[in-house]
Amino acid sequence: EVSRRANVSIGSIYARVPSREALILAIYERAMAHMTERERQMERDSKREGLAPRELVETLVADLAEIMLGSASFLHVFMRQAPVDPEIWRRGSQHSQVAADIFEKALLQHRDKFSHPNPELAVDVAFRMVYCTIARRITHGPKFESNRRVSDKELVRELGHAVADYLL
């Protein structure tokens, strides 16, 4: 893919990097930097005026899910590789924790609206609900755990409702 986009031979790509692994990690870092920038949208959405608490929570859930689903082809490869590649595992965990921090901070700006007695724990669990559900869909497909056909749009909407019900 890299050689096709650059309109050069595969050999010329490998001649510019120390190793195949270095090339893979460079591709990974570039894609993750793009995702992190997109995740900053959650911070911006958390400051939007005029959203009811439920609408705000559902918007932030949709932001996270759409970022992940929008990068599904890339994430699929690296999420499947991480269990056998310690460096991808480390970097993936690190990025996931950055995403969790962004998501949780965005939600915690509205902690006074939460009915949950432990807002910090609640937003961490909320992140895990969304992240793990979408990650599983990316790595295993939409029908791995259930025969029911649920579109990405339906799944994200229902996750938003579930998280809002849990927090509010």
User: In this structure, what CATH number is given to the domain that contains residue 88?
Assistant: 1.10.357.10
Does 1 fall in a domain?
A: no
Higher pLDDT, 14 or 141: 141
Domain count, the chain: 1
Helix count and strand count (H, E) for the chain: 8, 0
CA quadruple 104, 106, 109, 113: dihedral sign:
negative
Is it the case that residue 37 has pLDDT exceeding 90? no
Is 149 exposed, middle or buried (CB count within 10 Å of its CB: 0-12, 13-18, 19+)? Answer: exposed
Q: pTM, whole model, 2 decimals?
A: 0.84
pLDDT class of 140 with cuts at 50, 70, 90: very high
Does residue 42 lie within any of the structural domains? Answer: yes
Q: What percent of the chain has pLDDT over 70?
A: 94
Residue 3 lies in a domain: no
- pLDDT digits over 44-85, tens only? 877 888 889 999 999 999 999 999 999 999 899 999 999 999
Residue 4 falls inside a structural domain: no
Q: pLDDT tens, 103-112?
A: 999 999 999 9
**How do residues 83-92 score in pLDDT, each as one tens digit?**
999 999 999 9
How long, in residues, is the chain?
A: 168
Domain containing residue 55: 20-167
CA distance 148 to 142: 9
Residue 133 lies inside a defined structural domain of this protein:
yes
